[in-house]
A and B are shown apart, each in its own frame.
Chain A
Amino acid sequence: MQRFMGVLRFLLPAAVFAVLLRFLYVGLSLHPDVIPSPFIGKPAPALSLPTLHDETRTLSSTQFAGRPWLLNVWATWCVACREEHATLVEIARSKAVPMYGLDWKDDRGTALALLAQHGDPYDAVAFDAEGRVAIDWGVYGAPETFLIDADGTVVCKQIGPLDMDTWRSKFLPLISGAKKGPCT
């Protein structure tokens, strides 16, 4: 017993220290700015808004049912969105999946000018002037990209700029059916 307690005296602090180290190590690799979306694995919220190109036309997510689609939240005031733009254009060129934009609290003229200058990757863009639809989707920082499957379930969400590596490893397998959602 005496010897056992003696060993414990050294092992216990060492074990506590190891746990502490583990916490610190895991803490280093966390991204507190990325907040997991509560919509993953749940039905996508409704989207019904006038389009960016034509105020009188309405874009409604009920039109997309039956096949997977992407929703990319962007704005001209968002610097990271410009960084992402070329990637979106490349993804759109691959025609893997229809891509819809949600232009978040933006200026119509500036947004149209940007698409004209840098290319328009979107099949259609919804114009959310007041940011209400963005709140319904739990958007907190552009760019954000949602993948919705054929059943209307949100299966993946990228917070921050999308790059081709993330696109190939996280999104494409879900679209091709190689993997079942939700993504991790």
Chain B
Amino acid sequence: MRWLPLIFLLLTAVAVQAIENVAPFDDPAMQERYEHLVKELRCLVCQNESIADSNADLAADLRREVREMMIAGKTDAEIKAFMVDRYGEWILFRPRLLRQTWLLWFAPGILLLIGTIVAVRVVSQRARLYTDDPGDDPTGEPNA
């Protein structure tokens, strides 16, 4: 029984190691840029994982492309454009603000605004209910 935690640790260590089988960049700044970039790109095979997290063959190929483009001196924007040209806007975890994506970006704000308006109206109506003359109660509910 006391071996169980050890076995668990050994198994998870393998899972963590499995993702990256290439040597990290010598320059820590480059390595950081690389790690950031591969987290921004969606793996299209297992759609809720980034290519950094995915074990899929295609994710490994895309990581290789990112790495090679970085070595060739491409900027982050150029690398993302390369991916979008081939796989579409969807490969980016944070979609850019476009005509097709503005609703995605602003929907939370719009919904919050609608919610606030509704809440304010309901609260002010309830407040009026109690200050009004009980005889004029429009809801017709019996007064306590």
Contacts and interface: CB of A to CB of B under 8 A. Distances in A.
Nearest to B48: A32
B137 interface: no
A56 to B, nearest CB: 25
B90 interface: yes
A138 B87 contact: yes
A163 to B, nearest CB: 22
Contacts of B78: none
A26 B89 CA distance: 21
B138 A38 contact: no
A32 B47 contact: yes
Of the four ranges (under 10, 10 to 19, 20 to 34, 35 or more), the interface on chain B belongs to 10 to 19
Interface residues of A, number: 19
Interface stretch (A79-87, A107-115, A129-137, A173-181): A129-137
Interface stretch (B8-16, B17-25, B26-34, B55-63): B55-63
A38 B61 contact: no
Interface in A134-166: 134-138, 140-141
Given A105-B61, A135-B61, 20 more contacts: A2-B138, A33-B47, A35-B44, A35-B87, A36-B88, A38-B85, A38-B86, A38-B87, A38-B88, A45-B86, A131-B58, A131-B61, A132-B61, A132-B65, A134-B61, A135-B62, A135-B86, A138-B88, A140-B44, A141-B44
A143 B87 CA distance: 16
Interface string B100-137: 00000000000000000000000000000000000000
